[in-house]
Structure 1
Amino acid sequence: MRLLVLFLGLFVFNLSVAQTDADPAVWSHEVNKISDTEYELVFKGKIMDGWHVYSQYTAEGGSLPSEFTFEKAGEDYELVGKTTESETIVEYSDIFEVDETFFKKEAIFTQKIKLLNPEVRQISVNLFYQICKEVCIPKDYLFEISLDGSGFVAENKSLDERSVALGESLKVDLKNKELLNQGGISSQEGTANLWMIIGLGFLGGLIALLTPCVFPMIPLTVSFFTKRTQNKSKGIRDALLYGFFIVLIYFLLSLPFHLFNSVDSQILNTIATNVWLNVFFFVIFVFFAFSFFGYYELTLPSSWVNKMDAASSKVGGGLGIFFMALTLAIVSFSCTGPILGGLLGSTTLAEGNVATNLTAGMVGFGLALALPFALFAMFPAWLNSLPKSGGWMTTVKVVLGFLELALAFKFLSNADLVGNWGFLKREIFLGIWIVLFILTTLYLFGVFKFPHDGPKKKHSGARKVTGLVSLVFSVYLILGLFNVTSLKLLSGFPPPSFYSVVETESDCPLGLDCYKDFEEGVAYAQEVNKPILLDFTGWACVNCRKMEENVWSDPNVYALLKEEYVLISLYVDDRKELPQDEKFEFKYDSGRIKSIETVGQKWGTFQTINFNAASQPYYVILSPNMEVLNDAVQYVDVETYEAWLKSGLGKHQLSMNK
């Protein structure tokens, strides 16, 4: 039961983790001189709402306590007494069944030291702690403390005057900044988006069930559980545990991506929009596609499979069931690998935290696999109702191969957009997709076949219906290519309409006038005295394109954007290098130093330090004198966005009349 509670806690945490550059706790220190040889060190942590940090003296058997390591203590100086703490909170933990002691909002630790070496002017102190919100994250923080008041620089690196000046120029003196998070609209679509990703993961899992690597595992699973026990109630418990372990394994595969977020809020966006990584994804997906076409098989080393299978047979209890679930994951890799690759790729294109999206998708995928396996393990008689393996599985794999190719070109398009290469324009991209889906249609209707297809025979009704759907979709793409339809169903996947082989008057969405430099846009807004719509966007941002093509295109919204606002669009994934004299290093309040070398790094950092956000799309309404006029919004519907724009415009006009 504890395992289940912990798993659910982890999942809830991943749905709620905040996207900020700062850690949930920001640390600082003070030095109070008592005498020539005695000092008082004060360590302060500001803790974000909803989070807590554990005391040094929290009960054993619960979460890990905070722990200070004073380097060279006993050599250069000695500790005088214990490290004392500010006021703490004590609450009973249902998970660990102990009273836990922790801090909320602020943690203050105080330690007196006495110098043994009078020449010592600087000491290092490491703090290990756990920052918690439903689940705990272990952290380390290094304090470099100067005893003579000269201070310290994180990472032992000083910034030159030019970097300091350019860094300060990124900070905007915003008025009414508290308005940004009051409306709560920005999170309105986040949960819905996560549920959609879980649904897509679930759909991917269902598709994986139909593949030749996974489907035959169902009878083997039933055989395994039938041999394990003749007790019905125990059999049901084992089957449920088996399903849980399948979900857990796929959940665990997503956890490493959360480590990236703890380093830098922009790092996953940087990875997802990296030109060469997108090219790598393109190559990998083409490789996956041809494996689905039957030209070769993807398999993990057979020794892995044998070891896992042997472990599941030899080890009893829950551990044996876990190894059986792991065997399923390994054996089915040749078919699930490409689907999981697609899931990984598509979650990098979705709104919000990439790691959280991936976790949601992996959990959905695991649930889809776990449900039938657990049910058939509980009720073996249901096996008789299953269709027999056959050629229909090959058809599923080939269709998946064409879908993998289509997604591969999306990644190549990302690289082209972010890298400003200009060769995969909107019309060319759509032309490639049209060819792919026409080929899918021809295959489904039996015009040609692949190496692993069996003898030609009469096609099933399901195959013909799928072929008809593919044909309709091909016609839809052709109509979109010639601008007969808007392709709103695909918003975000093809390159934007202004990225065209045909010369356009504007390189801004929908032909609007926009500025791609903040200072230039503000100067123009001050000149014409219009409010600013600050648009944090990205070349590879799917939901940014959806907003532009589905919401901004609405006549009322479009009129407001064109006539009433100064639009400033800042692309946080633009890999264009800054001029040499504009490159610099930026130091965060936490002490971390980041190199700013590209346009996207500059605007991504600008968004983080001024608006405490790192996701796109992200919209803010400002007056020309930098007053926040409304709460920030992200992915919303037409009605909400129009009302939000009108509200900001009304507040601007009201302030003008004062």
Structure 2
Amino acid sequence: MKQFVLGVLLVFSALFVFGQTDDEPVLWSQEINKISDTEYDLIFKAKVFDGWHLYSQHTAEGGAFPTEFKFVGLETDYKSIGETNESKTYTDYSEIFEVEETFFKGKAQFTQRIKLLNSDVRQIDVSVSYQICSDEVCIPGFADFNFVLDGGDAVIENQTVDARSLAMTNALKLDLKNKELLNSAEDRIEKDSTIWGIFGLGFLGGLIALLTPCMFPMIPLTVSFFTKQSQNKSKGIANAFLYGFFIILIYVLLSVPFHLFDSIDSQILNTISTNMWLNIGFFIIFLFFAFSFFGYYELTLPNSWANKMDENSTKIGGVIGIFFMAVTLAIVSFSCTGPILGFLLGGTTLAEGDVATNLTAGMMGFGVAIALPFALFALFPAWLNSLPKSGGWMTTVKVVLGFLELALALKFLSNADLVGHWGILKREIFIGIWIVLFVLLALYLFGLFRFPHDGPKQKLSNGRKGVGFLSAVFSLYLILGLAKVVDLKPLSGILPPEFYSVFETESDCPLGLNCFKDFDEGLAYAKSVNKPILLDFTGWACANCRKMEEQVWSETDIYPILRDEYVLISLYVDDNIKKLPEDQQFDFQYASGRVKTIETVGQKWGTFQTLNFNAASQPYYVLLSPDLEVLNSAVQYTDRDAYKAWLNSGLEKHKVLAQEKAPIF
């Protein structure tokens, strides 16, 4: 089980970084050699970056995914002669998957000979799926090849789109006036606040991790080792501080793969938070984490890793030895810290800003919290006597974390449900499950049932009773919110939106407003009533979009403005379930040359946002006149007062423009 979960974690952490990048650590090219009038060699070449492995077609089952080729038209237009040959490969044992893997380093070449069955065939199309791994992550990849049967070379990056697709791309471009106003748009998100918030989340996670059975007993043992084994007190303190520094460094290094490429697509944050299958993957992973905290099994890294690190720390000694001691701590504590780090990883997907920066801040906060007691207790060893004794309370901490993991898992499943339009986790059902979870947590804390790893039954502590009381109060709050007795606004962005209800609603627009979900339809209506447009780039699974709608739009002095003064056009950029009619689908070419087929409503509006506003984040709000004049700078997630002032400023500008265009008699 541990290998399965670890493999899933590697894949999904890679998707976090590379799911929408134009660049990958492998570059493909192609050649075609003519053998005779009917026989050709199709050659696929891959340049693999240092530190990465591309896997053979014949690598062992149970390890990384093999490279696979799909030949379009095989056995109808042509047939293959023999197998697809490979260049030199390497083999090595994978500690993660525990199999002997076969892979390429530096470069790879695949050659397939074909024989034509149809003399009219002038092009062979082939697609390849593969996986490329480093020591930290594994990335799934796909590439398409088009071999022209004239002996020429081709490179897959040099793709073009047909005239129809080019015309449809141009049709999405708006003739915006005063577009320079958009460039003065302020990012209303306080980036520093977000980073410090993520750092604080990581620090809190680290403090909680210290209270688990994997970490807490290590504090006095490790501090005593440094203070007693060193030549003098000052040397022991210095070593303890160095040990703490290495702990921080190790956790920060876990975020390095997210910084490998500086050309990450600007859509990546939206992709992470709204990709249906990625959210399902996180849901499954968090279920595994939760039940490990409940004591049904342990998720541990291979023991050989810890043994090797411990051996190195003993052999080498000095500064390098202390580093290996820190690595050993990180490995042996994984069963407790892994789920908490997963929780932290999930938190970064719900925060605005750069994913890699957020994750680094969170990992640094986590590492600082873990390292702090080792440094402080080395500095003040007398404090060790005040530490509480290890005991059943640490198991209680793990169970509480297990329930929180389940609650977060449900959020990821809700994201997938919203994007997929399944209708499974409507708002009331989601809240109902949360009520059950927190009632069960309260019952557990009050000692009414137990889990497998609980020790002998003891008298309930005041701390346990207090947390149980808070859980019960939160459950009551949810019940009253479900009955609409109290407001659940503080949970906006976490709970499904109010219009996503089991009961019939008048509108599937936010707050029951009248909105358009097609730009052309909304623009036509705005012209007919001569009202300005509030263009709302949003998403079904966009947490900050829900916060804006339920905490800002709902205000009594803002809601009437949206309802009466503006034409609301809400474009859902993550609506990738709803297919466009075939005659509206087209190929879009990025500036890098990469071509993407626009097949869904979400892809269309995401492309529309990028083309016209050079933006890809949500929420993203633009004020336009019916004549497509930009009325103000674009804004994103902001507060009530700033948003109200922004709306009123747009109304004033629209009135001025209307007066300027009014006929003079």
Instruction: Say which SS state the counterpart of residue 473 (structure 1) adopts.
Output: helix
Q: Which residue of 2 aligns with 1:161?
A: 163
Closer, same or farther: CA 219–657 of 1 in aligned 2, 3 Å: same
Instruction: Say which SS state the counterpart of residue 279 (structure 2) adopts.
Output: helix
Q: Which residue of 2 aligns with 1:32?
A: none
TM-score, with length taken from structure 2: 0.74
**Mapping for residues 117-196 of structure 1, pairs under 5 Å:** 155-182=157-184, 184=186, 186-196=187-197
Structure 1 Cα separation of the partners of residues 526 and 314 of structure 2? 71
Structure 1 Cα separation of the partners of residues 624 and 21 of structure 2? 22
Q: Which residue of 1 aligns with 2:372?
A: 371
Matched, 1:597 2:599: yes
**Mapping for residues 582-593 of structure 1, pairs under 5 Å:** 582-593=584-595
Q: Which residue of 2 aligns with 1:130?
A: none
Instruction: Say which SS state the counterpart of residue 320 (structure 2) adopts.
Output: helix
Closer, same or farther: CA 355–520 of 1 in aligned 2, 3 Å: farther
Closer, same or farther: CA 624–292 of 1 in aligned 2, 3 Å: same
Structure 2 Cα separation of the partners of residues 240 and 374 of structure 1? 5
**What is the CA distance between 1:349 and its match in structure 2?**
1.8
Q: Which residue of 1 aligns with 2:119?
A: none
Judge conservation of contact 2:166–2:588 (CA < 8 Å) in 1.
yes
Structure 2 Cα separation of the partners of residues 274 and 315 of structure 1? 46
Matched, 1:237 2:238: yes
State the aligned residue count. 511
Judge conservation of contact 2:159–2:594 (CA < 8 Å) in 1.
no
Q: Which residue of 1 aligns with 2:567?
A: 566
**What is the CA distance between 1:624 and its match in structure 2?**
1.5
Structure 2 Cα separation of the partners of residues 569 and 373 of structure 1? 52
Q: Which residue of 1 aligns with 2:541?
A: 540
Identical residues among aligned pairs (%): 74
2:449 is aligned with what amino acid?
Answer: F
Q: Which residue of 2 aligns with 1:396?
A: 397
Structure 1 Cα separation of the partners of residues 471 and 455 of structure 2? 22
Judge conservation of contact 2:493–2:542 (CA < 8 Å) in 1.
yes
Judge conservation of contact 1:199–1:361 (CA < 8 Å) in 2.
yes
Matched, 1:455 2:449: no
Judge conservation of contact 1:349–1:540 (CA < 8 Å) in 2.
no
Structure 2 Cα separation of the partners of residues 650 and 155 of structure 1? 48
Structure 2 Cα separation of the partners of residues 174 and 535 of structure 1? 16
**What is the CA distance between 1:417 and its match in structure 2?**
0.4
Moved more, 360-369 or 397-406: 360-369
Structure 1 Cα separation of the partners of residues 492 and 262 of structure 2? 27
2:190 is aligned with what amino acid?
Answer: E
1:603 is aligned with what amino acid?
Answer: W
1:646 is aligned with what amino acid?
Answer: N
Q: Which residue of 2 aligns with 1:204?
A: 205
Judge conservation of contact 2:173–2:608 (CA < 8 Å) in 1.
yes
Judge conservation of contact 1:254–1:358 (CA < 8 Å) in 2.
yes
Q: Which residue of 2 aligns with 1:300?
A: 301
Instruction: Say which SS state the counterpart of residue 190 (structure 2) adopts.
Output: helix
Structure 1: stretches of 5+ with no match in the other structure: 1-19, 24-151
Q: Which residue of 2 aligns with 1:425?
A: 426
Q: Which residue of 2 aligns with 1:87?
A: none
1:177 is aligned with what amino acid?
Answer: K
Structure 1 Cα separation of the partners of residues 304 and 237 of structure 2? 31
Closer, same or farther: CA 236–627 of 1 in aligned 2, 3 Å: farther
Closer, same or farther: CA 453–171 of 1 in aligned 2, 3 Å: same
Matched, 1:384 2:356: no
Structure 2 Cα separation of the partners of residues 517 and 243 of structure 1? 55
Q: Deviations over 1:274-315 (max 9, x none)?
A: 212211211111111111111111111111111111222222
Structure 2 Cα separation of the partners of residues 389 and 564 of structure 1? 63
**What is the CA distance between 1:338 and its match in structure 2?**
0.8
Q: Which residue of 1 aligns with 2:522?
A: 521
Judge conservation of contact 2:223–2:240 (CA < 8 Å) in 1.
no
Structure 1 Cα separation of the partners of residues 261 and 539 of structure 2? 20
Structure 2 Cα separation of the partners of residues 442 and 598 of structure 1? 46
Q: Which residue of 2 aligns with 1:270?
A: 271
1:162 is aligned with what amino acid?
Answer: R
Q: Deviations over 1:181-202 (max 9, x none)?
A: 4252x24433222222221111
Structure 2 Cα separation of the partners of residues 403 and 294 of structure 1? 15
Instruction: Say which SS state the counterpart of residue 264 (structure 1) adopts.
Output: coil
Instruction: Say which SS state the counterpart of residue 253 (structure 2) adopts.
Output: helix
**What is the CA distance between 1:610 and its match in structure 2?**
2.1
2:306 is aligned with what amino acid?
Answer: V
Q: Which residue of 1 aligns with 2:348?
A: 347
Q: Deviations over 1:432-468 (max 9, x none)?
A: 0000000001111111111111222211101111011
Judge conservation of contact 1:221–1:377 (CA < 8 Å) in 2.
no
Q: Deviations over 1:177-233 (max 9, x none)?
A: 22224252x244332222222211111111111111111121232134235533444
Structure 2 Cα separation of the partners of residues 625 and 369 of structure 1? 58
**What is the CA distance between 1:596 and its match in structure 2?**
2.1
Structure 2 Cα separation of the partners of residues 600 and 239 of structure 1? 53
2:629 is aligned with what amino acid?
Answer: E
Q: Which residue of 1 aligns with 2:632?
A: 630
Judge conservation of contact 2:270–2:618 (CA < 8 Å) in 1.
no
Q: Which residue of 1 aligns with 2:121?
A: none
Q: Which residue of 2 aligns with 1:98?
A: none
Closer, same or farther: CA 607–320 of 1 in aligned 2, 3 Å: farther
Structure 2 Cα separation of the partners of residues 527 and 591 of structure 1? 40
Structure 1 Cα separation of the partners of residues 472 and 452 of structure 2? 23
Structure 1 Cα separation of the partners of residues 288 and 580 of structure 2? 35
Moved more, 459-468 or 323-332: 323-332
Q: Which residue of 1 aligns with 2:615?
A: 613
Matched, 1:510 2:511: yes
Judge conservation of contact 1:438–1:471 (CA < 8 Å) in 2.
yes
Instruction: Say which SS state the counterpart of residue 575 (structure 2) adopts.
Output: coil
**What is the CA distance between 1:351 and its match in structure 2?**
2.1
Structure 2 Cα separation of the partners of residues 512 and 407 of structure 1? 30
Closer, same or farther: CA 176–455 of 1 in aligned 2, 3 Å: same
Judge conservation of contact 1:199–1:364 (CA < 8 Å) in 2.
yes
RMSD of the alignment, in Å? 2.2
1:305 is aligned with what amino acid?
Answer: A
Q: Which residue of 2 aligns with 1:488?
A: 489
Judge conservation of contact 1:479–1:485 (CA < 8 Å) in 2.
yes
Moved more, 195-204 or 457-466: 195-204
Matched, 1:315 2:316: yes
Moved more, 607-616 or 204-213: 607-616
1:548 is aligned with what amino acid?
Answer: E
**What is the CA distance between 1:259 and its match in structure 2?**
4.4
Q: Deviations over 1:357-401 (max 9, x none)?
A: 222222221221121222223333322111111010011111111
Q: Which residue of 2 aligns with 1:143?
A: none
Q: Which residue of 2 aligns with 1:467?
A: 468
Structure 1 Cα separation of the partners of residues 155 and 299 of structure 2? 50
Closer, same or farther: CA 156–215 of 1 in aligned 2, 3 Å: same
Closer, same or farther: CA 273–332 of 1 in aligned 2, 3 Å: same
Structure 2 Cα separation of the partners of residues 239 and 601 of structure 1? 53
Judge conservation of contact 1:351–1:542 (CA < 8 Å) in 2.
no
**Mapping for residues 7-18 of structure 1, pairs under 5 Å:** none
Structure 2 Cα separation of the partners of residues 270 and 647 of structure 1? 32
Moved more, 313-322 or 399-408: 313-322
**What is the CA distance between 1:244 and its match in structure 2?**
2.4
Q: Deviations over 1:522-563 (max 9, x none)?
A: 221122111111111111111111111110010111011111
Structure 2 Cα separation of the partners of residues 493 and 261 of structure 1? 30
Judge conservation of contact 2:159–2:593 (CA < 8 Å) in 1.
no
Judge conservation of contact 2:574–2:603 (CA < 8 Å) in 1.
yes
Instruction: Say which SS state the counterpart of residue 535 (structure 1) adopts.
Output: strand
